[in-house]
Structure 1
Amino acid sequence: MDSAYKMWNTLKQNFAQPDDTRVCNLQYILGNITEGTRSVDAYFIELKGFWEEMRNYSPLLHCECGSCNPVCFKKYSNQYHKDMVFRFLNGLNESLVAIRSQIILMDPIPALDKVYSLKLREKSQRNVMIQP
Structure 2
Amino acid sequence: MVNSTTTSATIDYSDPSYISSSDVPGISLVGVPFSGTGFGGWRRNMIVSLTARNKIGFIDGSYARPAEGTSRARLWDRCNNMVISWLTSSLSHDIAESLQYSETVESIWIQLNKRYGMVSGTKLFELKKELALTNQGSLDIASYFNKLKRLWDELHFISTNHINTCTCAAKAGLQQEEEKNKVYQFLMGLNEAYVRVRSNLLMVQPFPFLDYAYNMLLQDERPFRSPNPNYKEKRVAASADVHNSIPDNGHSSDQVSHILDDLSLAGLSKE
Q: In the alignment, what sits opposite 1:5?
A: 60
SS at match of 2:135: coil
In the TM superposition, what are the counterparts of 1:31-110 in structure 2 within 5 Å? 31-62=132-163, 68=168, 70=169, 72-110=170-208
Question: Which one has a larger percent helix, Structure 1 or Structure 2?
Answer: 1
Larger Rg: 2
Aligned length: 129
The 2-side partners of 1:55 and 1:11 are apart by 23
1:38 maps to a residue whose letter is L
The 2-side partners of 1:21 and 1:29 are apart by 12
SS at match of 1:97: helix
The 1-side partners of 2:164 and 2:209 are apart by 24
The 2-side partners of 1:127 and 1:4 are apart by 48
Q: Structure 1 residues 29, 86: closer, same or farther in 2, change over 3 A?
A: same
The 2-side partners of 1:94 and 1:52 are apart by 26
Question: What is the TM-score normalised by the length of structure 2?
Answer: 0.42
The 2-side partners of 1:33 and 1:64 are apart by 27
Conserved 8 A contact 2:163-2:174: no
Q: In the alignment, what sits opposite 1:29?
A: 130
Bigger relative contact order (CA 8 A; separation at least 6): 1
Question: What is the TM-score normalised by the length of structure 1?
Answer: 0.80
**Identity of aligned pairs, percent?**
23
SS at match of 2:162: coil
Deviations 1:22-79 (A, max 9, x none): 111111111111100111111111111111111111154148686x3x2x11111101
2:136 maps to a residue whose letter is E
Q: In the alignment, what sits opposite 1:122?
A: 220
Q: Structure 1 residues 109, 3: closer, same or farther in 2, change over 3 A?
A: same
Q: Structure 1 residues 27, 107: closer, same or farther in 2, change over 3 A?
A: same
Q: Structure 1 residues 64, 120: closer, same or farther in 2, change over 3 A?
A: closer
Note the residue ranges of structure 2 that are not aligned, 5 or more in a row.
1-15, 17-56, 62-105, 227-261, 267-271
Q: Structure 1 residues 28, 4: closer, same or farther in 2, change over 3 A?
A: closer
Q: Structure 1 residues 131, 61: closer, same or farther in 2, change over 3 A?
A: same
Shift of 1:12: 8.6
The 1-side partners of 2:215 and 2:179 are apart by 16
